Chains A and B, each alone.
Chain A
Amino acid sequence: MKNCFEREQLFAYALEMLEAQDKLEVRRHVAECARCRGVLEEYRQLDRVLDSWQQLEPSPWFDSRVRSKIATVEESLPSLWGRALAGLGWSRWMAPALVAMMVVVVSAVIVERRPGLLPDSLTHMTGSAKAGSPANARSQVSTQEMAEERAGGAATLDDYDMLANFDVLLELPRPGE
């Protein structure tokens, strides 16, 4: 018959891959053309043969294995804090550096507020007793500690004992005197 379709066009028709208009044209032609009907039948026969490749059932433990793999991966994930840092694109050494920096800042603030925590010599180095000599610093610390002692408390007493010992050290003759 005249105007037979190409095999590829008939194949596309058999597998329903044609647009509506093309589909209609092929259908009209095939209704009248034995040769094209034969080609279509070849593809349908092949399709039936391919159907005989049977399905495989997943094993009964498939789901539990998926859950187990997910649980393993979830456990190995970093903490929320770590993920947040990772999300910021920070490299590994930045997190410890940040923590160290925070420790230094917090320590500096504590020392600033409670100068008595450091010996006089260190207090002087931090500059908290800017204008004063070691003796001035000691008198400031002593005044504060004495006030706390009056309020009562064993911790304050301990600090007082420590300061008293420093007094003893300061009373030692200086080298060359």
Chain B
Amino acid sequence: MAIESDLELMLRVRRGDTESFEVLLRRHRAPLVNYFSRMVGDPALAEDLAQEVFLRVYRAREHYRPEAAFTTWLYRIAANLALNAIRDRKSRAEAAHGPLGEDFQEGEPAVARLPDSRPTVEQRLIQADRERMIRNAVEALPDKQRFAVILHKYQEVDYRQIAKILEVSESAVRSLLFRAYETLRARLEPLLAGGRI
């Protein structure tokens, strides 16, 4: 049986086919939860935001126009929600602790669940430490650079699509990614040197 495209499924959802919506839900829930988890650093909030994306997709089904790729539309909704969540979190933190500098780091978000290959306690600690470093380095990037890296690296979204999602030119996306990778290369130097990998 041929795999139906997101666009075909969404057009069916627009006509009231709830089963097609279930297929889209199963297909995109994990990538969206991971996207938000990396953007906001809080797995519980990430789930809430991913659910909100699906709710908005469902509510907007009658107005869906297949002018762009479905994932472009999906991640544009997700990007707006993520940006609002990040701003809310910063506002709350500033209200509680005063203005935050660039080096501001949130409290340690919960560590992502490890695969069920039963690593030793030491391996888990090393892995958690490495993830913490990567997460901190990515979270410290400016918003647009962070969006670009997460979409490109972890969501495997094509840079042309990223340009549409972020509403910037394709060359701007390339530039954003380059600057982000240069910064990450410097911040993750201990991992690149091989000492902790």
Q: Do A and B come from one complex?
A: yes
Our count of residue pairs bridging A and B at CB distance below 8 angstroms stands at: 96
> Does A73 make an interface contact (CB < 8 A)?
yes
Say yes or no: A56 contacts B178, CB within 8 Å. Answer: no
Stretch in contact with the other chain, from A11-19, A88-96, A129-137, A151-159 = A11-19
- From B34, B47, B131, B178, A52 is in contact (CB under 8 Å) with B131
Which single residue of chain A is at the shortest CB-CB distance from B55? A69
A17 to chain B, nearest CB (A): 5
> Does A113 make an interface contact (CB < 8 A)?
no
Say yes or no: A63 contacts B134, CB within 8 Å. Answer: no
- Interface residues in B, total, Cβ within 8 A: 45
- What are the residues of chain A within 8 A of B114 when measuring CB–CB? 54
- From B30, B54, B134, A50 is in contact (CB under 8 Å) with B134
Say yes or no: B127 contacts A56, CB within 8 Å. Answer: no
Say yes or no: A47 contacts B113, CB within 8 Å. Answer: no
Given A17-B174, A42-B192, A55 and B47 contact (CB-CB distance below 8 Å): no
Say yes or no: A62 contacts B33, CB within 8 Å. Answer: yes
Interface residues of B: mostly helix, strand, loop or mixed?
Answer: helix
Q: B128-159 interface mask toward A, CB cutoff 8 Å, 1 = contact, 0 = none?
A: 00110011001000000000000011100001
Say yes or no: B188 contacts A15, CB within 8 Å. Answer: no
Q: A59 vs B112: C-alpha distance in the bound complex, in angstroms?
A: 12
> Does A70 make an interface contact (CB < 8 A)?
yes
Residues of A34-50 contacting chain B, CB below 8 A: 42-43, 45-47, 49-50
Residues of B30-46 contacting chain A, CB below 8 A: 30, 33-34, 37-38, 43, 46
B164 to chain A, nearest CB (A): 15
Q: A58 vs B51: C-alpha distance in the bound complex, in angstroms?
A: 10
Q: A56 vs B22: C-alpha distance in the bound complex, in angstroms?
A: 20
16 new A-B contacts at CB < 8 Å, known A46-B184, A63-B29: A7-B182, A8-B174, A15-B159, A43-B181, A46-B188, A47-B153, A50-B134, A52-B131, A52-B134, A52-B197, A54-B113, A56-B113, A62-B50, A62-B51, A63-B25, A69-B55
8 residue pairs bridging A and B, Cβ less than 8 Å apart = A11-B177, A46-B192, A52-B131, A54-B113, A54-B127, A55-B30, A63-B25, A63-B29
Give the interface of B toward A (CB within 8 A).
22, 25-26, 29-30, 33-34, 37-38, 43, 46-47, 50-52, 54-55, 58-59, 112-115, 127, 130-131, 134-135, 138, 152-154, 159, 174-175, 177-178, 181-182, 184-185, 188, 191-192, 197
